[in-house]
Chains A and B, each alone.
Chain A
Amino acid sequence: MNGQSQANVMTLQFSSRSENEAFARVAVAAFVSQLDPTLDELTDLKTVISEAVTNCIIHGYDNEPTGMVSITAAIEGEDITLTVSDQGQGIEDIELARQPLFTSKPDMERSGMGFTIMENFMDEFEVTTELGVGTTIRMKKRIESKKALYN
């Protein structure tokens, strides 16, 4: 409870258009920069945001630009929590979707690595999805750079 009240929170909402992917990465990176992350940490966070937002656009909304993508970033101590949501079609088989190299859209040359990358680059990763309702990805990472500085 105490921790929650101290969280520093930012929320973004934007149209489900691929040109907004770069914007989402830069906006989250700018917000997180107050934690003084290393370049590697910043790249990890930009990559996972890119993966999650791309999933919303391609899979959640099936490239329909009228959908809205939401990102919430919360800083609590040294932890950054990122939540990326859509109100799209949801994921039918989440276990299958999380398999490395699996893609539901092989014709679009998707690599099937999105979930694998998010799981690898973050400390915590969870998916909530419901068919016809939407999908929410919640990810957490500890930013270690300040500690490393003292050592």
Chain B
Amino acid sequence: MNLQVELEHRRNVLITRLRGELDHHTAEIVRFQLDEVIQRGQVNHVVLSLSELTFMDSSGLGVILGRYKQIKGRGGKMAVCEMNPAVRRLFELSGLFKIMHVYDNEHLALNGLEVVS
């Protein structure tokens, strides 16, 4: 598989590190893994950590937006950090920038979530 998903629980925050390529084919993996944790109600917030995400297209935007809606529907927040320029451009183009909290790294994202939670 071209995408690896690493999940780390930090109190009520789920840090999700994506490695590899996020497209229509691999979006299923992200959807499945995150929904399992979110729907069990184990986490309030999600930090997407994308430093090793080498490729993403609009299917990636779709799966991220879908998880954002779930988290938001449960009163939580989603933060994104360490985007490469290409991924950042897609976030800007789609307007996801306006609705998500964007940070430079995981540490700042975690701090930011604790402030808003």
**A10 CB to nearest B CB, Å:** 21
Interface size bracket, A side: 20 to 34
Contact B25 A18 (CB under 8 A): yes
Q: Is B66 an interface residue (CB 8 A)?
A: yes
Mark interface residues in B1-42 (1 if CB within 8 Å of A CB, else 0): 010000000000000000001011101000100000000000
Contact A22 B21 (CB under 8 A): yes
**A92 CB to nearest B CB, Å:** 20
**B100 CB to nearest A CB, Å:** 13
Contact B86 A117 (CB under 8 A): no
Please provide the chain A residues from 88 to 141 with a CB less than 8 Å away from any CB of chain B in the complex: 100-101, 108-114, 116-117, 120
Question: From A108, which residue of chain B is reached at the shortest CB distance?
Answer: B62
Contact A50 B57 (CB under 8 A): yes
Contact B24 A46 (CB under 8 A): no
Contact A111 B25 (CB under 8 A): no
Name the prevailing secondary structure of the A interface residues. helix
- In the bound complex, residues from chain A placing their C-beta under 8 Å from that of B61 are 111, 113
Contact A19 B25 (CB under 8 A): yes
Interface size bracket, B side: 20 to 34
- In the bound complex, residues from chain B placing their C-beta under 8 Å from that of A111 are 58-59, 61-62, 65, 94
Contact A110 B57 (CB under 8 A): no
Q: Is A57 an interface residue (CB 8 A)?
A: yes
Please provide the chain A residues from 50 to 88 with a CB less than 8 Å away from any CB of chain B in the complex: 50-51, 54, 57-58
- In the bound complex, residues from chain B placing their C-beta under 8 Å from that of A21 are 23-25
**A32 CB to nearest B CB, Å:** 15
| Cβ-defined partner of A47 (8 Å) among B2, B27, B63, B86 | B86
Question: From A53, which residue of chain B is reached at the shortest CB distance?
Answer: B24
Q: Is B97 an interface residue (CB 8 A)?
A: no
Q: Could you tell me which B residues sit within 8 Å of A by CB distance?
A: 2, 21, 23-25, 27, 31, 55, 57-59, 61-63, 65-66, 85-86, 90, 93-95
10 CB contacts below 8 A, A to B, read A18-B24, A21-B25, A43-B55, A43-B86, A50-B55, A54-B23, A101-B94, A101-B95, A109-B62, A117-B57
